[in-house]
Chain A
Amino acid sequence: MSSSAAVSPPSATGAKPTFFSRLKGGDQVAYLITLLFASIVLLIAVLIVYVLWQESSLARHKFGFGFFTSQAWDHNEENYGALPFIYGTLLTSFLALLFAVPLGVGAAIFLAELAPPKISNALTFMVELLAAVPSVIYGLLAIFTLVPLMRDYVEPALKSTLGFTPLFTGPAYGVGYLAAGAVLAIMTFPFIISVSREALLDVPREQREAALALGATRWEATWQAVVPFAKLGIMGSIFLGLARALGETMAVTMVIGNVPKISASLLSSGYTIASVIANEFAEASSDIFRESLIFLALVLFLLTIVINGAARLLIIATTRKGSS
């Protein structure tokens, strides 16, 4: 609120001589009304930050920076730490990108460079529909299809081939980091495909044609001349996907196993920031418990803002470059 008041005066004072004439024509009124509504957007954002900051003060003061390094999540001792959740959030998002980036960029290259425009548009349309499927439906599908598949086939196979590494040890639960990462991958690649494809399509034709004229194969032209040109946009799409994966709640809650522990094995169960809030916020009886959850929400909020901000900047940078 205060910052909107601080920014608006220049235009209001600048308009002063003609204020009444403009008011008569309705322009000043319209200006003020639209300004008011635009300020609501700012107000909401300020309120969210205020609520998260204010309502986590107890936890911030009690745990301080130790919150980020502590593995405790003990309701009995009222001792809370964020590390298992931060670990789970980052690990599942990383796994998601591990699957989604090659798949998504590969598909985007095919759709932008190889497929005939009509087919490309139709397929892109279908992929974008994937982005509209609600999270809880991914969760529902995952519980009844992905988890049994992981438990009965994928995880035993991983254990028997790669079981000598610490990454694939322990019982094959089906639910856990790996399942959560796989669901998140399916939820993120539509973003990567859609935005990367746009970035690739924005690359000037000459880039491609010059490479082909120099005798490059189709792949070489794409990989060496076109993709580097669209690099920032592709990076942007990856960050966008990452931001979505970090904040994703329901689908992850349904398949991650909900255990606040850190394990090296991708097969074991874990927890993410968003899913612990979803599970425990309604039952947080003590102040410090509730405020620790809100502290976690604050951490998640800041994390996604940084990632989103980076994504936007990268996408803006390429669109400018592409259109110039």
Chain B
Amino acid sequence: MSRLAWRNFVNKVMLSLTAVCTLLTVSTLILILGYLIWNGGKSLNWAFFTQLPKGPGEVGGGMANAIVGTAKLVGLASAIGIPIGFIAGIYLSEFGGVTFPFIIRYVADLLNGVPSIVVGIFAYAIVVLPLKHFSAWAGSVALAVMLIPVVVRNTEQFLQGVPQSLREGALSLGASKWRTIVTVVVPASISGILTGIILGVARIAGETAPLIFTSFGNQFWSSGFNEPTSSLPVMIYNYAISPYDDWHRQAWAAGLVLLALVLVSNILARGILGRGTAANRA
């Protein structure tokens, strides 16, 4: 084989290999989705959404309390985390000097990388132990700690994308700085900020590890936010490792519901509002 033919051969092989890599990774997604939809679809029924869990070994029942529980946990975590993250993001983009914003930015990135199980220990120590009981509050605090850095960095990033000329225009018309931010800068970047918030919320909705010893579990409805609260991810974990066929069935159903929730919000957020990359979510 001539040198040129060899080089062309290598070219073809390597290029095909990269295509194979792509095929493998994309087909993983299709397999995951397909398998989950197949198994989950088979297992989903009306009772899953309306009934409380049945005891071990009993057939039937559902995860109504875990669905509501996840909504409560995520809702409360959002109520805590989004304002903090959003306003801190405004600080970084609009008010910051040099040193302190640098520290905040760096710390937000570090917080973003803290393993979820460590956040669980943190919430256990600052909420569960002093209050002497497991609660939705504790779980929500843990989830909020995971949400805040995502919102901070994302808000900052999109605010900074707003052209300087817009700000100067508003300021030259005599608007104060905060009025400019509220009426010009934030509206100009709101779709990007919302995208980031939705992605962040979708991410915490699927978190399991920080909830195991904070929101704990509950086979009944939990009233208010001061009681142990059932959540979909923890139920999936408990049911998946159990020996009961009916619990496996329900774990698949719960997996499908959770995945649908997460994927739909991702697709909505990124398809309609804009694009984010894995880097600024990581």
Contacts and interface: CB of A to CB of B under 8 A. Distances in A.
Contacts of A42: 103-104, 107
Nearest to A243: B113
A297 B119 CA distance: 10
Contacts of A3: 103
Interface stretch (B60-68, B162-170, B186-194, B208-216): B208-216
B122 A51 contact: yes
B88 A38 contact: yes
Contacts of B94: 34
Contacts of B91: 31, 34-35, 37-38
Contact of A247 (B115, B205, B258): B115
Contacts of B255: 136-137, 140-141
A48 to B, nearest CB: 5
B21 A103 contact: yes
Residue with the highest number of chain A CB atoms closer than 10 Å, among B118, B125, B266: B118
Interface string B25-43: 1101100100110000000
A100 B184 CA distance: 44
Contact of B251 (A115, A140, A240): A140
A83 interface: no
B51 to A, nearest CB: 21
Interface in B105-124: 107-122, 124
A27 B152 CA distance: 20
A234 to B, nearest CB: 12
B20 to A, nearest CB: 7
Interface stretch (A59-67, A68-76, A298-306): A298-306
B178 interface: yes
Given A38-B104, A223-B14, A308-B113, A240 B22 contact: no
B209 A274 contact: yes
A217 interface: yes
A137 B258 contact: yes
A195 B18 contact: no
B15 interface: yes
Contacts of A133: 32, 206, 259, 262-263
A203 interface: no
A189 B87 contact: no
B199 to A, nearest CB: 8
Interface stretch (A4-12, A154-162, A259-267): A4-12
A136 B206 contact: yes
Interface residues of A, number: 100
Contact of A104 (B25, B26, B205): B25
B117 A247 contact: yes
Contacts of A167: none
B207 interface: yes
A250 interface: yes
B28 A186 contact: yes
A98 interface: no
A42 B149 CA distance: 10
A250 B178 contact: no
A133 B278 CA distance: 12
Nearest to A283: B213
A301 B95 contact: no
Interface in A209-239: 217-220, 223, 237
Contact of A194 (B7, B20, B85, B279): B279
B149 to A, nearest CB: 7
Residue with the highest number of chain B CB atoms closer than 10 Å, among A125, A129, A305: A129
Contacts of B52: none
A111 B25 CA distance: 12
Interface of A: 3-4, 7-8, 10-11, 25-27, 29-31, 33-35, 37-42, 44-45, 47-48, 51-52, 55, 102-107, 109-111, 113-115, 123, 125-137, 139-141, 143-145, 186, 189-191, 193-195, 198, 217-220, 223, 237, 240, 243-244, 246-250, 254, 274, 277-278, 281-282, 293-294, 297, 300-301, 304-305, 307-309, 312, 315
22 contacts: A26-B176, A26-B179, A38-B87, A45-B111, A48-B114, A48-B118, A48-B119, A102-B21, A125-B270, A129-B267, A132-B206, A132-B263, A133-B262, A137-B36, A137-B258, A139-B240, A143-B240, A191-B278, A191-B282, A194-B277, A281-B212, A307-B113
Interface of B: 7-8, 10-11, 14-15, 17-22, 24-26, 28-29, 32, 35-36, 83-85, 87-88, 90-92, 94-97, 99-101, 103-104, 107-122, 124-126, 145, 148-149, 152, 176-179, 181, 199, 202-203, 205-209, 212-213, 233, 236-237, 240-241, 248, 251-252, 255, 258-259, 262-263, 266-267, 270, 277-279, 281-282
